[in-house]
Structure 1
Amino acid sequence: MSREVVEAMTVLAREKGISTEKLMFALQDALLAAYKKQPGSAKYARVELDSETADFRVIELIIPERLEAQLIVETIDEGTTIDPETGEMREPEDPEIDPVKFEQYKDQIDERDVTPDDFGRIAAQTAKQVILQRIREAERDMMYEEYRDRVGELITGIVQQKDARYTLIQLRERVEALLPKSEQVEGERYEHNQRVKAVIKEVSPSTKGPSIIVSRRDPELIKQLFELEVPEIADGLVEIENVAREPGYRSKIAVVSHADGVDPVGACVGPRGSRVRMVVSELRGEKIDIIPYNDEPARFVAKALSPARVREVLVDDEAKQATVIVPDDQLSLAIGREGQNARLAARLTGWRIDIKSETEFATEDRGGGEDGEEGLDGRCHAILANGRRCPNAALPSSRYCGLFAHQALVDYDTDDVTVLTADDEDESGELHDLDVSGEVEVEAVEEASEEDAGAEAADAEEALLDEEVALAEDAAAEGPGDAGEPQAAPVPSDGLEPAPESAEPTGEAEGS
Structure 2
Amino acid sequence: MSQIAELKQQIELLCIERGLEPNEVMKAIETAIAAAYRKEFGEKEKNYEAEFDSETGKYSIFQTMTVVEEVEDPGKEVSLVETRLTNPGARLDDEIKTQMVIHNDVHFGRIASQVAKQVMFQSINNVRHTKILQQFKDKIGNIVTVEVDCFRKGGYMVKLGQTLGFINRDNILPIDKFKPGQLIKALVVDISEDDRGNSRILLSRSNPDFIRAVIANEVPEVASNIVIIDKIVREPGSRSKILVSTSEEENVDPVGTILGRKNVRLVNIMREISISMQEKIDVIEFQPNDLESMIMDALEPAEIEQVEIDTEHRSANVYCYPEEASLAVGKRGVNIRLASELLEYSLTLKTIEPEGQGIKSEDDGNDYNSNMSIVADEV
SS state at 2:70 partner? helix
The residue type paired with residue 204 of structure 2 is S
Alignment of 1:24-63 (within 5 A): 30-38=32-40, 41=43, 46=48, 49=51, 51=53, 53-56=56-59
Instruction: Give yes or no for contact 1:45–1:58 (8 Å, CA) kept in 2.
Output: no
Q: Distance in 2 between matches of 1:260 and 1:45?
A: 64
**TM-score normalised per structure 2:** 0.72
**What is the RMSD computed on CA atoms of the aligned residues?**
4.1
Distance 1:131 1:327, change over 3 A: same
SS across alignment from 1:71: coil
C-alpha displacement at 1:215, in angstroms?
1.0
Question: Alignment partner for residue 146 of structure 1, among 135, 148, 154?
Answer: 135
Residue 154 of structure 1 and its aligned partner are, at CA, apart by 0.9
Partner in structure 1 of residue 369 of structure 2: none
TM-score (norm 1): 0.55
Work out the CA distance in 2 between the residues paired with 1:243 and 1:61: 56
**How far off its partner does 1:125 sit?**
5.6
2:185 is matched with 197
CA distance in 2, matches of 1:342, 1:96: 67
In structure 2, the residue matched to 1:165 is: 154
CA 1:98 to 1:8, structure 2 compared with 1: closer, same or farther past 3 Å? Answer: farther
The corresponding residue for 1:304 is 298
Query: Residue deviations 1:283-315, cap 9 Å, x none?
Result: 222111222221133322221111222233233
Structure 2 partner of 1:467: none
1:96 is aligned, of 76, 95, 98, to 76
Residue identity matched to 2:58: D
Give the Cα separation in 1 of the matches to 2:48 and 2:323. 87
- 1-structure distance, mates of 2:57, 2:268: 60
In 2, Cα distance between equivalents of 1:213 and 1:17:
24
1:219 to 202, 205, 208: 208
Task: Find the counterpart in structure 2 of residue 288 from structure 1.
Answer: 281
2:147 is aligned with 1:180: no
Q: Does 1:357 align with 2:357?
A: no
| Unpaired runs of at least 5, structure 2 | 89-95, 362-379
264, 279, 282: which one aligns with 1:274? 264
Go from structure 1 to structure 2 and tell me whether the alpha carbon gap of 1:320 and 1:19 turns closer, same or farther (over 3 Å shift): farther
Instruction: Tell me the distance in 1 between the aligned counterparts of 2:30 and 2:80.
Output: 18
Stretch of structure 1 that moved more, 122-131 or 351-360:
122-131
Counterparts of 1:329-340 in structure 2, within 5 Å, are 329-340=323-334
Rg larger in 1 or in 2?
1
Distance 1:183 1:338 in 2: 21
2:239 is matched with which residue: 247, 250, 259?
Answer: 250
Considering fraction of residues, name the structure with more helix. Answer: 1
Post-superposition offset of 1:4:
5.7
Residue type at the aligned position of 2:279: E
Q: Deviations over 1:432-455 (max 9, x none)?
A: xxxxxxxxxxxxxxxxxxxxxxxx
In 2, distance between residues paired with 1:233 and 1:45? 55
Q: Which has the larger strand fraction?
A: 2
Number of paired residues?
Answer: 338
Task: After TM superposition, list the pairs within 5 Å mapping 1:279-428 onto structure 2.
Answer: 279-282=269-272, 283=274, 284=276, 285-296=278-289, 297-358=291-352
153-162 or 36-45: bigger deviation: 36-45
RCO greater where, 1 or 2, for CA within 8 Å and sep 6 or more?
2
User: CA contact under 8 A between 1:325 and 1:361: conserved in structure 2?
Assistant: no
